[in-house]
Amino acid sequence: MTGRRVGIVLLTAALVSLSIGVYGGNSDTITVNYEVQAINEITISAASVTLTVSTATAGSQPDSVTDNSTATYALTTNSTTADSKKITAAIDTAMPSGVTLYLTLAAPTGATSTGETEITNVAASVVTAIEAVAESGLVMTFKLSATVSSGVVASAAKTLTLTLTDVS
pTM higher than 0.95, yes or no? no
Distance, in Å, from the CA atom of 131 to the CA atom of 38, rounded to the nearest integer, reads 12
User: What contacts 118, CB < 8 A, 6 or more positions away?
Assistant: 100, 101, 102, 124
> Could you tell me whether strands 124-130 and 112-113 are parallel, antiparallel, or unpaired per DSSP bridges?
antiparallel
DSSP code of residue 11:
H
Q: Which positions of the chain have pLDDT values less than 50? A: 6, 18
pLDDT value of position 25: 86
pLDDT value of position 14: 52
Distance, in Å, from the CA atom of 55 to the CA atom of 153, rounded to the nearest integer, reads 14
Name beta bridge partners: 66.
143
